[in-house]
Amino acid sequence: MARLTVNNQPVEYRLDPETPLLWALRDASNLTGTKYGCGTGDCGACTVDIDGRAALSCRTPIGTIEGTYVTTIEGLSRERNHPLQLAFIAANLPQCGFCIPGILMAAATLLKKNPDPSEDAIGAAIDNLCRCGVYPRLIEAIQRAARALRGEETIPAGVRPGIDPADAARLVPAFVAKPER
């Protein structure tokens, strides 16, 4: 049995103490934003914040973190308006999206410790793997979020890549039209 605080809620996991935090979060708490990638701690998809440090939840047995505070991607911002989330969207970072929760959590812990990180500091803190290759835009997005957190910049919440909803509604009939015979 392990007692933790997860996303500001007290939780008692009645699981084997060797159960990885990843599975406690996903299966017992239904917090599925934390992803299972490699299971070996190499990819970073399962990164969460444990007491202010980035931790690989696939490699963290719940019995070793009794009494800690855990923040998952769901706890970063319920409204999805954390400056990091807004900066990632504005930079068009999320592609397949699988690695993004882990990268966001690693970046969030970095910005708590270092409100004005250099390129090198970001590179050292964010070692998550991304098969889509978002790295060229990642550094600027994290620095932009840092400026927003310091109050030096505002990131509009309405920035969303893709098709305007009015255009999408107009285009739908073309996709559902019956083929000619």
pLDDT averages per 10-residue partition of the chain, 181 residues? 95 97 97 95 97 98 98 91 94 90 98 97 95 90 97 80 52 48 56
- Please indicate, yes or no, whether residues 48 and 87 belong to a single structural domain of this protein: no
Give the total number of structural domains in the chain.
2
| pLDDT at position 88 | 94
Q: State whether 23 and 62 are in the same domain.
A: yes
Answer yes or no: are the C-beta atoms of 47 and 56 closer than 8 Å.
yes
Identify the three-state secondary structure at position 100: helix
Residue numbers of the domain that contains 54: 2-74
| CA–CA gap between residue 121 and residue 19 (Å, rounded) | 32
> pTM score, two decimals?
0.85
DSSP letters spanning 6-73: ETTEEEEE-S-TTSBHHHIIIIIS--TTSPPS-SSSSS-TTEEEETTEEEEGGG-BGGG-TT-EEE-H
Domain match, 33 and 53 both: yes
For residue 118, the domain's CATH number is: 1.10.150.120
